[in-house]
Structure 1
């Protein structure tokens, strides 16, 4: 993959003043936005037999273990879910934290994987794996109102479906910061009620 693209992505993330969420009441988690040849990012559908959020769109990720950095947590989860092992040098930067209704603070970690990948999705966690091109990701979101919240629910039209927050919010911020050069915030965007549990 183009080294100039890596430099542009890294520069955009370093210029962005990320906002961390000070929520000691929530569990820390990390997700991986993985740039691969295409250029594309990796997006999954969670396995339908999972107890939490079965079948929902997701970035590889999960709860951070005690003592782990967010980058370490994202890379560990990436290896567990997709069989892709990356070193610390693959970490390009972080986006804003997103506090979920289900009790987590998610820190998005942008990673560079390049090409010639040997991906092995773990069927216990991943129902399906997709590559979303940066061109596909450069879409305008939809916002809908729900009676349960005053905040708008974000819907990102991708792959013939709608990707909701938290994944939709994280991907929208990636698009805004990295592809469009706009310091857009997404922490205020709501999740649909089915994702609250």
Structure 2
């Protein structure tokens, strides 16, 4: 168990600082920039550290009803960190400063033309989370112990690609890449393993 306290914050900041991100090799016009947030907070039962996972609103035009980390497209002139913090505020009313940022993981290129930067933040004061109904149907706290289980993730093959599809088992749902890939890399970074996930595939339904 990773107690939600200053010692855990320092430890996660240290492992994030030790993580060497892949260099940015994307052409400026090739992919649209986006950012998501791994927002660390206290678990529902108290004590343990968790991250926030949302269920997207059912009326959204794209990826409606799917599980997702808070985030979205970067505005013009906006850095991934700025976009991540803005989206966290817009979606969950969590207004955090740059001091809350613990680190960044590898950029993940999606089949739909985005390059997603995962930003890890420490959301200490998250008691007043208010999901924005225009974007978020529900928000859930996933204890880090959940993703550290041996059976939390699996990998499968599909005929449409020679890359493995990653799946995160959450309750009765299967969560796919990019969300599953980003969560998996965070799990690996926590364990001190610099595992790359850009070669992990998305399911075909997420290719557009």
Q: TM-score range by the shorter chain?
A: over 0.9
Equivalent residue runs for 1:79-118 within 5 Å: 79-118=89-128
Gap regions ≥5 residues in structure 1: none
Partner-residue secondary structure (3-state), 1:43: strand
The answer on 1:127 being equivalent to 2:132 is no
Instruction: Compute the displacement of 1:139 (Å).
Output: 3.1
Match of 1:147 among 159, 165, 168: 159
Gap regions ≥5 residues in structure 2: 44-48
Partner-residue secondary structure (3-state), 1:149: coil
Instruction: Compute the displacement of 1:30 (Å).
Output: 0.3
Task: Give 2:178's aligned residue.
Answer: 166
The whole-number CA distance in structure 2 between the counterparts of 1:94 and 1:2 is 20
Task: Give 1:13's aligned residue.
Answer: 16
**How big is each residue's C-alpha offset from its partner over 1:108-155, in whole Å with a ceiling of 9 and x where there is no partner?**
000001145211101111122111001112134111111111100000
Match of 2:196 among 174, 185, 188: 185
Instruction: Compute the displacement of 1:22 (Å).
Output: 2.2
**How big is each residue's C-alpha offset from its partner over 1:53-103, in whole Å with a ceiling of 9 and x where there is no partner?**
111110000001122121110000001111110011000100000000111
The whole-number CA distance in structure 2 between the counterparts of 1:185 and 1:193 is 21
Task: Give 2:26's aligned residue.
Answer: 23
Match of 2:38 among 30, 33, 36: 33
Q: What is the CA RMSD across the aligned residues, in angstroms?
A: 1.1
Task: Give 1:69's aligned residue.
Answer: 79
Judge conservation of contact 1:144–1:153 (CA < 8 Å) in 2.
yes
TM-score (norm 2): 0.91
The whole-number CA distance in structure 2 between the counterparts of 1:29 and 1:85 is 19
TM-score (norm 1): 0.96
* 4+ long deviations beyond 4 Å: none
Alpha-carbon distance change, 116 to 142 in structure 1, aligned in 2, over 3 angstroms: closer
**How big is each residue's C-alpha offset from its partner over 1:129-186, in whole Å with a ceiling of 9 and x where there is no partner?**
11100111213411111111110000011222111000000000000102x1111110
The whole-number CA distance in structure 1 between the counterparts of 2:125 and 2:42 is 5
Alpha-carbon distance change, 20 to 158 in structure 1, aligned in 2, over 3 angstroms: farther
Judge conservation of contact 1:176–1:183 (CA < 8 Å) in 2.
yes
The whole-number CA distance in structure 2 between the counterparts of 1:48 and 1:67 is 30
